[in-house]
Chains A and B, each alone.
Chain A
Amino acid sequence: MVSLIKSIKAHSDKAWSVSAHKTVPLLATASTDKTSKIYKLSVKQNFPQVAQLEDTHKRSVRAVSFKPPLPGVESNFLDLPALASGSFDSTISIWGIDEPETEILSSPRNEWNLMAIIEGHENEIKAVGWNHNGSLLASCSRDKTVWIWETDPETLEEFECISVLNDHQHDIKHVVWHPHQNLLASSSYDDTIRLYKQDLDDDDWSCVGVLNGHEGTVWCSQFEDNHRHQESNESSNRSKIRLVSVSDDMTARIWSKYIPSSIKHKSEMVWEQESILPPVHQYPIYSVAWSAQSGKIATVGSDGKIVIYIEGDDNSWSIDSVKESAHGVHEINSIIWALLDDQSEVLVTAGDDGCVNIWKP
């Protein structure tokens, strides 16, 4: 059963998005009230607010995303937490913290500094996402484009736009990177999901796949992180990539693609719809999260329910648990899996009531 650990009244207006840092137990929020807040993911300390990011965006902050830690860097001194926020004001702000991790976790307030404001999109930004090593940031907008920005993940000093992808027909609602490779997925008001890769010869980014099937706006998608599973199963020379997507059509779908271990030059990826998760939601589904730890999928949406799905044998999915009225009568806009400071896995949701709720799954 899903049980509430903590409800935080984070914002005076809609809370749109939440993001958790991968290694430092910090949570970030985004709201219509034009601010973001940072909380410590600590039960012992009762989830204190440690920072408020404000006076930067002129309109709603729609999305937040923590930069993943640099791979293979032992010293945290070189790799301080950083955050990207996307706003309806068409800009992205990049925030960084100037203290070592031990300080971050011991001090009651953290000093977050505005490091950059990225301009380029014509209108509202709907989502932002970092690739696995923090060297690339993707953003998407109602202007029907996905932009890929390149940066030095250690300094975050400059963000250079290396590609503008305009394959979608409409408003783009969400972007997400594969957790271990430079494969990007975008979800759109045109009812499709598109996948993008960089061409190995000329470095150009291009659309390598289109997922058709949803009968309404696709609000969000997430890749499966089966890294651990693959390590224990190296006999297979083909790695399976899977994606889950949620839509206005009230369905959650899983898509899969087997690719040879040596990816062919410019090969078009052909994806298949593997399954539709058992129907539970009665209104549009806005957000989905796929746990790297348990392999479970959680969805939320307009009907205020949290639904957790579990996979059985033969890729068959069943309902693990359902939490009704998780934000009272309000709609839920975002869900993520996160780790607390004691390494236990929780779900975090953000709703129209401005609350951020933390759940024991």
Chain B
Amino acid sequence: MSDPINANPTIIDVSALPTRISASSDKSKSRHDELFERVLSLSLAPKKHSLNIDNLTLPDLVSDIEMESPTEDELSDAIVEESEDEDLIDEQEIFDLISTISDPEHPLTLAQLAVVNLEDIKVTHGVNKKTDISEVLIKITPTITHCSLATLIGLGIRVRLERCLPPRFRIRIFIKEGTHQSENQVNKQLNDKERVAAACENSQLLTVISQMLSTCK
């Protein structure tokens, strides 16, 4: 692989990250364990072969390479069933779902690189869970302002959440204001459901995203 775009990122120690994982009390532990187990089962299989991410035509979301084989079974959508565990879907829950996604460039997680931050996540619930729409709004902070991988990171977060959250959630992902030189362009792509759907049918792109999500707990 070529030289990383950001060779010297600032790294946050894992123990300093906000999480509910270590703070769980004995009473709720079994429930948490159950959830983690389920969430774990949603994670993608480890990478089969490594790909050079430089070959991807980002930020166009989808490369022009034709996909000949159907999407692999492991990518079938698995959604957290409507259950009591849903009460846990707050900002911290969203953070825990996405914080352990790997950066496509560094052997570090998005939380360690402060690309995702708890205070930049906002969850809004509807009154009636069966009929009302809920929203997750996430602002991501690219490590450097010209980071060409911002779209890929955003796509990884979206794929992770679309697979884990119930369908009533509308996921909106934006680049934090002033942290990227082509904010609007990246924002538009990340929130275009059709482009995202098409990107998720691209096997090469999916392989990269699988690698990013393989570290998810």
Which residues of A are in contact with B by a Cβ distance under 8 Å? 13-14, 32, 34, 58-60, 62, 88-90, 122-124, 126, 142, 171, 173, 189, 217, 248, 283-284, 302-304, 324-325, 328-331, 352-353
Contact across chains for A331 and B201 when beta carbons are under 8 A apart: no
Query: Which B residues touch A123, using CB under 8 A?
Result: 62, 64
Contact across chains for B194 and A126 when beta carbons are under 8 A apart: yes
Contact across chains for A88 and B167 when beta carbons are under 8 A apart: no
Contact across chains for A352 and B167 when beta carbons are under 8 A apart: yes
Contact across chains for B193 and A302 when beta carbons are under 8 A apart: yes
Contact across chains for B131 and A14 when beta carbons are under 8 A apart: no
Contact across chains for B170 and A302 when beta carbons are under 8 A apart: yes
Separation of A14 and B131 alpha carbons in the complex (Å): 18
B-side binding surface: helix, strand, loop or mixed?
A: loop
Separation of A142 and B103 alpha carbons in the complex (Å): 28
Least CB distance from A79 to B in Å reads 33
Query: Which A residues touch B193, using CB under 8 A?
Result: 284, 302, 331
Least CB distance from B68 to A in Å reads 7
Separation of A304 and B169 alpha carbons in the complex (Å): 12
In the complex formed, the residue of A with least CB distance to B126 is A329
User: How many of chain B's residues touch chain A, expressed as a range?
Assistant: 20 to 34
Contact across chains for A59 and B201 when beta carbons are under 8 A apart: yes
Cross-interface CB contact of A89 among B66, B133, B197, cutoff 8 Å:
B66
Extra 20 A-B pairs, beta carbons < 8 Å, given A124-B198, A283-B170, A352-B167 = A14-B197, A34-B70, A58-B66, A58-B70, A59-B67, A60-B197, A60-B198, A62-B194, A89-B66, A123-B64, A171-B195, A217-B188, A217-B192, A248-B192, A325-B131, A328-B130, A328-B131, A329-B166, A329-B167, A329-B168
Query: Which B residues touch A62, using CB under 8 A?
Result: 194
Query: Which B residues touch A60, using CB under 8 A?
Result: 197-198, 201
Q: Which of B62-93 contact A (CB under 8 A)?
A: 62, 64, 66-68, 70, 77
Least CB distance from B188 to A in Å reads 7
5 contacts between A and B (CB under 8 A): A62-B194, A89-B67, A329-B130, A329-B133, A330-B167
Separation of A142 and B64 alpha carbons in the complex (Å): 10
Query: Which B residues touch A328, using CB under 8 A?
Result: 130-131, 167
Whether, in the assembled complex, B37 has its beta carbon less than 8 Å from a beta carbon of chain A, the answer is: no
Separation of A35 and B188 alpha carbons in the complex (Å): 29
Separation of A262 and B194 alpha carbons in the complex (Å): 40
Least CB distance from B69 to A in Å reads 8
Separation of A284 and B133 alpha carbons in the complex (Å): 13
Query: Which A residues touch B133, using CB under 8 A?
Result: 283, 303-304, 329
Query: Which A residues touch B188, using CB under 8 A?
Result: 189, 217
Contact across chains for A329 and B66 when beta carbons are under 8 A apart: no
Query: Which A residues touch B177, using CB under 8 A?
Result: none
Separation of A217 and B201 alpha carbons in the complex (Å): 22
